Amino acid sequence: MTDGDACVLAHDLTFSYPGGDPVLDLPELSIGTGERVFLYGPSGCGKTTLLSLVAGVLQPPPGTLQVLGHDVGALSSPARDRLRAAHIGYVFQMFNLIPYLDVRDNIALPVRITAARRNRLSGSLHQAVAETAAHLGIEDLLNEKVTRLSVGQQQRVAAARALLGDPELIIADEPTSALDQDRRRGFLELLFQNVQDAGSTLLFVSHDLTLSDLFDRSLSLAELNRAGA
Ligand SMILES: Nc1ncnc2c1ncn2[C@@H]1O[C@H](COP(=O)(O)OP(=O)(O)OP(=O)(O)O)[C@@H](O)[C@H]1O
Ligand SMILES: [Mg+2]
């Protein structure tokens, strides 16, 4: 399995949760470096599971999934965590914010723990957090505990955390589901600007098919997936 230009390359990728039926069985999936891909499919078809495998939150079988040149299934759990922190910005469907940290520290966390992302900031971390927060309209909330925020505000904190430090791969799981029209437009503009400026690869899941025109390619997971077919 080699493809120098692929950011994500899956070959006979299968996955089942413990004791469950196969959720995914993908013969082939290739996402080029810098490509912007819109992934869609019915609820429960495995979109979040696929994103979790790509991000190394879940472990795929060895030899079935390469991400940024790494055989994700051959990496230990800490090594997958390091790969994600350094190179992948992930807007989780359930946000996964750290409840005991304030907004500023939630946004800064991945950059604080990895030099690769810190080194890509043009100014200070403090300044970068403030700028990204301002783009997303959460600049007045930086000192708040995330547990005090509305769902849409939490989603914007999760988005800011994923974008800071220009990760090579951005994974976004229904990142606009809790946002109003203006916030949604603001987030998408920031996302696409970041992706373009940094040459990042974007893997974006949404049920809102009207967004698909913004992307280089749309993929139907239900069509790709042999499991549950
Ligand atoms: N932690 C888990 N343990 C066991 N089964 C799970 C787990 N997470 C998801 N599943 C199952 O895996 C299948 C795919 O779930 P997944 O969350 O990937 O779907 P999805 O396409 O993201 O759905 P949605 O659009 O509702 O977010 C479902 O049948 C679900 O029940
Ligand atoms: Mg999901």
Q: Write the pLDDT tens digit of every residue in 104-160.
A: 999 999 999 999 999 999 899 999 999 999 999 999 999 999 999 999 999 999 999
Compute the mean pLDDT over every residue in the chain, rounded to the nearest whole number. 96
What's phi and psi for 16, nearest 5 deg?
-130, 140
* Alpha-carbon gap, residue 102 to 161, rounded angstroms: 12
- What distance in angstroms lies between residue 201's CA and the mean position of ligand 2's atoms? 20
Ramachandran class of 177: left when φ > 0, alpha when ψ lies in -120 to 50, beta otherwise:
alpha
**Whole-angstrom Cα distance, residue 201 to residue 168?**
6
Which residue has the least CA distance to atom 6 on ligand 1?
17
Which protein residues have a CB closer than 5 Å to ligand 2 (ion)?
A: 47-48, 93
Ligand nearest to the CA of 92: 2
Query: Does the C-beta of 49 come closer than 6 Å to ligand 1?
Result: yes
Return the pLDDT at 228.
74
Using CA positions, which residue lies closest to atom 10 of ligand 1?
Answer: 17
Residue 3's pLDDT band (cuts 50, 70, 90): low
For residues 194 and 163, what is the distance between their CA atoms, to the nearest angstrom?
7
pLDDT of residue 1: 47
For residue 155, how far is its CA from the centre of ligand 1 (angstroms)? Answer: 20
The fold for domain 34-58+76-224 equals Rossmann fold (3.40.50)
Name the β-bridge partners of 38: 204, 218
Judged against a pLDDT cut of 80, whether residue 89 lies above it is answered with yes
Ligand 1 close to Cβ of residue 228 (< 6 A): no
Over pLDDT 90: what percentage of the chain? 97
Name the band, by pLDDT with cuts 50, 70 and 90, for residue 229.
Answer: low
Residue 146 burial by Cβ neighbours in a 10 Å radius (0-12, 13-18, 19+): buried
Write down the pTM of the prediction.
Answer: 0.96
